[in-house]
Amino acid sequence: SSPVVAMAWEAENAVEAVRNTMGQTNPTTSPPGTIRGDLALDIGRNLVHGSDSPESAVRELALFFTGTELLDYSRANDRWIKE
């Protein structure tokens, strides 16, 4: 065990984007350029965890954050930028 840096990210397709950045659970099958593919040692020491669904994220976020620690906000430029 070691220190933990807990993060909460919210975006469209956030789960998929984060899981693609992390790589597969087994670092030996993770592509280069992913966190696990570049830095992890083995399945048990794969450096990062990311929720596998929005529902799991809600449950897992409650382990680290209270409701008052997570803020909901809108960026001013979001209403002007459409992709």
Predicted confidence at residue 19, as pLDDT, reads 96
Domain range for residue 63? 14-79
Predicted confidence band of residue 2 (pLDDT cuts 50, 70, 90):
confident
Residue 3 within any structural domain of the chain: no
Predicted confidence at residue 1, as pLDDT, reads 66
Q: What is the pLDDT of residues 32-71, one digit of tens each?
A: 999 999 999 999 988 999 999 999 999 999 999 998 999 8
CATH of the domain at 71: 3.30.70.141
Task: Among 17-26, 49-58, 67-76, name the one with the lowest average pLDDT.
Answer: 67-76
Number of domains in the chain: 1
Residue closest to 8 by CA, chosen among 53, 47, 50, 55: 50
Catalytic residues: 49
With a threshold of 0.95, does the pTM exceed it?
no
Q: For residue 43, what are the contacts with CB-CB under 8 A and spacing of at least 6?
A: 25, 26, 27
Cα separation, 21 vs 24, in Å, equals 9
Residue 44 within any structural domain of the chain: yes
